[in-house]
Amino acid sequence: MSESEQSQDKVVLEQTLLRVEETFVYKIPPLATSGGHHADDWDLGNPLATCSLHVKRVDSTLCIQLLKDQPKPNAPPGATEKHLFAQCIVSLNLSSNLEPTLKMHYYVEPVTDSSRYFVIRISDAKSGREAHIGMGFRERNDALNFKMSLQDYENAMRKEAISLNHISKEGDSFQSAEQASESETSDDIGLSKLTLKEGEKIHINIKGIEGKRRQRKSVGEVNPGGKSMLLKKPPPPASALGAAVENPEGFQRERNESISSADPAAKIEEDNDDDWGDFEGVPNN
């Protein structure tokens, strides 16, 4: 896209803040003292020109235009048109503390001896040269409206700067929140690596546990009175049970003989065994 096409697509905000049909323009002498300009030094009865005043806001700048009537070419006698006689461009660039780098007093300065006259800084758009000229109004209300238009521009620029700063801070806060969220997500990912997958187990060996189990087992084999508790013998195997069913008297005799040939302590244990009692044969069906 060419520069001409970009300039055509750009939207320019233009707002007319004030129009005054009669404004006097004066050539002023150089400032003699630091006390300010005096309107009495301008020869107020002989203005340099009588113009109409247009105060417009164009984007972020304020244009104070002085327009003068001149004969219109190729027109009947007496026909006139307005042309730009002088222009003051005000640009208030607000800093971070919402204070303009160049204040309004740099562009428009009231005189010290009247409320209807001002000194404005005009500039040539082609050469860039600047100069000071005097400007005054016949009516005091026109001078008051001129002051109000300057204040409206300043207030609008300040409000816009506050809004931009607020949006910028919200953007920074949002970015910080995103960074914090990313940090939390990374922490969660790090913790998830420590979790066990399905089917995985952790084996922990604690010193002294096996010894305590053995000690507990040995303690369990002694009764509270200090006497050893002999475990009861298991029941006879199935083959012996079958023989007992077929010949119960022979089985009991063989069993007593085997016990008598064994350790006497076992004999005592057999006598104290109440769980088995007298073995009775199982009737045959």
Residue 279 has a pLDDT of 45
Same domain, 157 and 259: no
Higher pLDDT, 16 or 92: 16
Last residue of a domain, one of 168, 187, 218: 168
Q: Is the predicted pLDDT of residue 110 greater than 60, yes or no?
A: yes
Residue 285 has a pLDDT of 45
Global pTM exceeds 0.85:
no
> What is the average pLDDT across 196-215?
61
* Helices 248-260 + 238-246 axis angle, to 10: 130
Split into its structural domains, the chain has a count of 2
**What is the domain extent for residue 155?**
3-168
On the CB side of 159, CA atoms within 13 Å amount to: 6
To which residue do tokens 């244009």 refer? 63
> What is the average pLDDT across 264-276?
49
Same domain, 163 and 29: yes
Same domain, 238 and 164: no
Same domain, 25 and 159: yes
Last residue of a domain, one of 121, 142, 168: 168
What rounded mean pLDDT belongs to the chain? 74
Same domain, 162 and 36: yes
Higher pLDDT, 264 or 122: 122
Residue 73 belongs to some domain of the structure = yes
Residue 96 has a pLDDT of 60
Same domain, 29 and 157: yes
DSSP string, 126-147: TT--EEEEEEE-SSHHHHHHHH
Tens of pLDDT, residue by residue over 133-179, are: 999 999 999 999 999 999 999 998 888 888 877 776 665 555 555 56
Q: Longest Cα pair distance anywhere in the chain, in angstroms?
A: 162
Same domain, 132 and 243: no
Non-local (6+) Cβ contacts of 110 within 8 A are 117, 118, 119
Tens of pLDDT, residue by residue over 22-61, are: 999 999 998 877 788 999 999 999 999 999 999 999 988 9
On the CB side of 232, CA atoms within 13 Å amount to: 10
